[in-house]
Amino acid sequence: MRYVIKGVLKMISSAELLNIAVRSAKIAGTIINKRIDTSKRVTYKGIVDLVTDVDKLCEQNIINTITRSFPEHSILSEEIGGIEKSSNYKWIIDPLDGTTNFFHSYPFVSVSIAVEYKGKIIVGVVYDPVKKELFHAVKGKGSFLNNKKLHVSSVKAVEQSLLSTGFPYDLRTSTENNIENWIKFIRKAQAVRRDGSAALDLCYVAAGRFDGFWEMKLKPWDVAAGFLIIREAGGMVTDFKGNPYSIYTNHIVASNAHLHRLLLGVLNS
């Protein structure tokens, strides 16, 4: 992989990208851990969609760390939006996934950072600063939790599966709110969880803790890193119709692959 700075061709290895992603995630994680049990300054982007001063502080620290090493790379991040450059590389950042959890000191939060190269996710990092769990994947090289290789579960029956999901912020006003799907799955699966960090939910599928995950109306920064981590752990990710997944689409279904056709059947029933 290569990019150009002022006419000079420079090689970028996956290891370099991963190193900066991990460093950035841990810097943000340290900030989150220091503040999770303290008071936060909060503003609202919607009725229930909030952002804290810590989201913004983490985002700035992550972006500063990335741009010191890769000033020519584009950035897409939750709070600031997009910074477009001429590079083929784009960093996709959720500085604090699970902001509502964080605001209430509920310890299920994460930092999610991915690198996209020519439209393909090639590096993904999700860090849980509370449990000190670092999930990472490099395209073609597998997925890992604290450097231990991950693999999805072997569950093959929906009735024996533990699933996860979430709900969009506009569920009060939109009919596309995931409630009907929730009802379908709580009647089919062994159990369904709703923990409030899509990035961690996806990593839990990769780790075999969950057998499947579905959600709607997520943003690229919610799913980019987790998408690669699941794929590299042997899982499957599509949209609700079973089409190849793009992080820029509106619906996601992720599974251990064994269950995928069955989960799609429930969603489309």
pLDDT tens digits for range 71-122: 999 999 988 899 999 899 999 999 999 999 999 999 999 999 999 999 999 9
Look at residue 215 and tell me whether its pLDDT is greater than 70: yes
Look at residue 253 and tell me whether its pLDDT is greater than 90: yes
2-149: what fold? Fructose-1,6-Bisphosphatase; Chain A, domain 1 (3.30.540)
The model's confidence at residue 9, banded by pLDDT at 50, 70 and 90, is: very low
In 146-227, the DSSP E strands lie at 148-149, 162-165, 191-193, 212-216
Tell me how far CA of residue 262 lies from CA of 71, 188, 242, in angstroms: 45, 10, 11
Q: What is the mean pLDDT of the chain?
A: 93
Look at residue 53 and tell me whether its pLDDT is greater than 60: yes
φ/ψ bin of 168: left (φ > 0), alpha (ψ from -120 to 50), beta (otherwise): beta
What integer pLDDT is reported at residue 180 of this predicted model? 96
What integer pLDDT is reported at residue 6 of this predicted model? 43
Q: Provide the percentage of residues in the chain whose pLDDT is more than 70.
A: 95
Please tell me the distance from the alpha carbon of residue 93 to that of residue 25, in angstroms, as a whole number. 10
Of the two residues 54 and 39, the one the predictor is more confident about is 54
For the chain, domain boundaries: 2-149, 158-267
What integer pLDDT is reported at residue 7 of this predicted model? 40
Place of tokens 């995630």: 25
158-267: what fold? D-Maltodextrin-Binding Protein; domain 2 (3.40.190)
Asked whether the CA dihedral 147, 149, 152, 153 is positive or negative, the reply is negative
- The token duo for 269 is 């029933």
Task: Kindly state the average pLDDT of the residues 124-135.
Answer: 98
What integer pLDDT is reported at residue 79 of this predicted model? 87
Compute φ and ψ for 89, nearest 5 degrees: -100, 140
What integer pLDDT is reported at residue 3 of this predicted model? 43
Look at residue 135 and tell me whether its pLDDT is greater than 60: yes
The model's confidence at residue 261, banded by pLDDT at 50, 70 and 90, is: very high
DSSP category for residue 244: B
What integer pLDDT is reported at residue 1 of this predicted model? 46
